[in-house]
Amino acid sequence: MRTGFFKNSFITAAAAVALALVFTPAVAGPIRILALGSSLTQGFGLPPGTEFPAVLQARLKAAGIDTIVINAGVSGDTSAGGLARLDWSLADHPKAAIVELGSNDALRGLPPSETEKNLSAIVEKLKSAHVPVLLCGMKAPRNLGTDYAKEFDPIYARLATKYHVLLFPFFLDGVAMDAKLNQADGMHPNAAGVKVIVARMLPYVKTLVAAARKAGH
């Protein structure tokens, strides 16, 4: 009888452990966000810790959102360059992605159709990997003429609609052309400018993280 008692007790305990494993939610780890971009992401001319990925991660942490923002920015990179290294970047197993590319395409006067083709391939590859995307819009330098701007500027909204991804309309919103928020070259944000970018983008990134969580990441 004592043997039966211990046997039944063991079965009951085992069942309790099994139920606990089934009904206890998994502990959610940090969401790994790939920041794929150019010098604007990489942090050209900025002291360490003041670049876009670092500031974004800090702001998310302050908001109680656990993330690791991977700095995959390369100074001078074009949309073609970003596409060429995307497979390597995906090896970091990101669960969400911010795509900031195209500014160097425009600075070089590359055909907008090529930029759109490359960005389209990047978004498609990320979506195929089940990585939610936040696409950051860019604007063509106005010294290239109105015709070029009319071809280039709408690329991002068109892709966001086509692929049903989040869109931050203009990465340099509130920063472009403001001398107080840019470095001496007038093109790259200073530390204060990065804070403005992050503050304006933060609600979009929160939505991106929520999408990653919903996707089971």
Active-site residues, by number, are 39, 185, 188
Q: Which H/E stretch holds residue 134?
A: strand 133-136
The pLDDT value recorded for residue 28 is: 60
* Domain-embedded: residue 17: no
* Domain-embedded: residue 112: yes
User: What's the total number of domains in the chain?
Assistant: 1
Which distant-in-sequence residues (6+ apart) come within 8 Å of 124 by Cβ?
163
The CATH number of the domain where 143 resides is what?
3.40.50.1110
Q: Which domain holds residue 183?
A: 27-214
- The tokens of 37 are what? 């971009």
Rounded to 10 deg, the angle between the 112-128 and 155-163 helix axes is 30
**How far apart are the C-alpha atoms of 207 and 36, rounded to whole Å?**
18
pLDDT in tens, the chain (217 residues): 444 443 444 344 444 434 443 443 444 689 999 999 999 999 999 999 999 999 999 999 999 999 999 999 999 999 999 999 999 999 999 999 999 999 999 999 999 999 999 999 999 999 999 999 999 999 999 999 999 999 999 999 999 999 999 999 999 999 999 999 999 999 999 999 999 999 999 999 999 999 999 987 5
* Domain-embedded: residue 4: no
Place of tokens 């702001």: 59
* Domain-embedded: residue 198: yes
